Amino acid sequence: MSQTNASAVLSVEEAIQARHSVRQYKRDVVIPQETLNEILELAAAAPSSWNLQHWRFLVIQEQANKDALLPIAYGQKQVSDASAVVVILGDLQANLTGRELFDAALEAGSVSQEVRDTMVSQIDGAYTMEHVARDEANRNAGLASMQLMLAAKAKGYDTVPMGGFNRTKLVEALNIPERFTPVMMITIGEAAAPARPTARMPLSQLVINETF
């Protein structure tokens, strides 16, 4: 087992350009816990609606646990070979966090009672609408996911985001509470082979100016 610190230090632009989905990893590479924590901290610095921070990071590094993910991820070998698999969870009850955050802010004197009450009632009001909890969980956890991949790249590690897994089996295997929905898996590690080249549509196809 080798512990590496694949530090690269890239600018944001360099990290965006250098990131590609890597599916083949050197096995038995251990990411130093400090580096992994830095990557997760950077991911957690993502913006979120009302700052509710709808993401949780279920981190799997034990080889036996990564191997157990193989059938759940339809045999996609990267879950077993990468150094870590992070299951990004979205919080379906982030309104509860809102209450905690604004109560703490009130106690710390950083918001007034009026602001606290307005924010809590706004959040609770939004969460009475059925689609909101899931939309917000997916939307906001998606932002943290992207940030995690760029942070990993900036520190010299590669990733692949994955939606190809059996949700029911994953929830069962990892005892994921009902409050959280698995948004995606991200593998992190050192590339054993480069990513497949991919192209992007031109701006002429992507950009709509002013109105359709």
165 vs 180, which CB is nearer to ligand FMN?
165
Among the listed ranges 29-37, 42-50, 159-167, 201-209, the one in contact with ligand FMN (CB under 6 A) is 159-167
Q: How far apart are CA 206 and CA 184, in angstroms?
A: 25
Q: 74, 166 in Cβ contact below 8 A? A: yes
Site for ligand FMN in 29-88 (CB under 6 A): 76
Q: Which two tokens stand for residue 139?
A: 């939307």
Contacting range for ligand FMN; rule: CB under 6 A; set: 17-25, 117-125, 126-134, 170-178: 17-25
Question: What is the Cα–Cα distance from 59 to 144, expressed in whole angstroms?
Answer: 14
In this complex, which beta carbon is closest to ligand FMN, that of residue 127 or of residue 165? 165
Residue 162 found at the interface with ligand FMN (CB under 6 A): yes
Q: By CB under 6 A, name the one of 141, 160, 171, 191 that touches ligand FMN.
A: 160
Residue with tokens 């965006």: 16
Contact status, residue 1 vs residue 132, Cβ threshold 8 Å: no
> Measured from the CB of residue 131, what is the shortest distance to ligand FMN in angstroms?
19
Closest by CA to 183, choosing from 19, 12, 43, is 43
Q: Is 164 in the site for ligand FMN (CB under 6 A)?
A: yes
Task: Give the closest residue to 43 by CA, choosing from 33, 53, 51, 52.
Answer: 53
State the Cα–Cα distance between residues 134 and 51, nearest whole angstrom.
16
Query: Which residue in the set 163, 168, 211, 212 belongs to the binding site for ligand FMN (CB under 6 A)?
Result: 163
Question: Interface with ligand FMN by CB under 6 A: which range of 40-48, 49-57, 99-107, 155-163?
Answer: 155-163
Measured distance CA(89)–CA(182) in Å, rounded: 4
Query: Contact residues for ligand FMN (CB under 6 A)?
Result: 20-21, 23, 76, 160-164, 184, 195, 198
